[in-house]
């Protein structure tokens, strides 16, 4: 039993740059566990279970921190700021697609609609793209987030 958990945890920890309990993930992001559960329901963050015990991947925690920092900056600067969690060539394509969807609406998509659309595209991209490229983006996000956390 203990070796099963150890093997599972080691594999998942390598894949997600570490694992946290949902309570610790919520503390790190700066939200309540109830709010974290709502984010999980939307699909932005995934729970990983060993038997019945849930864990959250650290890369997804870093991504959520990046999203929140970008949103805060957007509100402060009155400009839509995009978090660095999105892959660059694809991001341009996704923004063009989004603009095409909302071209008939004055002002285009709202900030929440943009974020939701980009988050959906990111989740699809993670399922289909090169795992090494996904890991590089996750590592970049981690470095940016940790640097900003150290500055706080």
Q: pLDDT by residue (tens digit) across 26-53?
A: 999 999 999 999 999 988 899 999 999 9
pLDDT tens digits along 103-121 = 888 777 888 888 889 988 9
If you average pLDDT over residues 10-39, what whole number do you get?
93
pTM: 0.77
Work out the average pLDDT over 6-30.
93
Token code pair at residue 42: 């939307």
Range of the domain at 68: 2-151
Predicted pLDDT of residue 152: 47
- Banded model confidence at residue 1, pLDDT cuts 50, 70, 90: low
Q: DSSP letter at 17? A: T
Q: Residue 34: how many CB atoms within 10 A of its CB?
A: 8
Q: Which has more confidence, 78 or 47?
A: 47
User: What is residue 50's predicted lDDT score, i.e. its pLDDT?
Assistant: 92
- Residue pair 39/64 in contact (Cβ under 8 Å)? The answer is yes
**Count of domains for the chain:** 1
């Amino acid at each position: 039993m203990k070796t099963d958990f150890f093997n599972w945890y080691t594999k998942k920890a390598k894949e997600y740059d570490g694992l946290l309990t949902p309570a610790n993930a919520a503390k790190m992001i700066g939200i309540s566990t109830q709010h974290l559960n709502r984010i999980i329901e939307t699909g932005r963050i995934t729970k990983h279970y060993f038997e019945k015990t849930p864990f959250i991947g650290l890369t997804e925690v870093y991504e959520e921190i990046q999203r929140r920092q970008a949103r805060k900056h957007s509100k402060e600067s009155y400009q839509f700021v995009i978090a660095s969690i999105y892959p660059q060539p694809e991001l341009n394509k996704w923004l063009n697609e989004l603009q095409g969807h909302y071209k008939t609406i004055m002002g285009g998509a709202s900030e929440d609609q943009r974020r939701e659309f980009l988050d959906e595209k990111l989740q699809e991209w993670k399922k289909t793209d090169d795992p090494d490229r996904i890991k590089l983006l996750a590592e970049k996000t981690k470095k940016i987030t940790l640097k900003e956390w150290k500055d706080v």
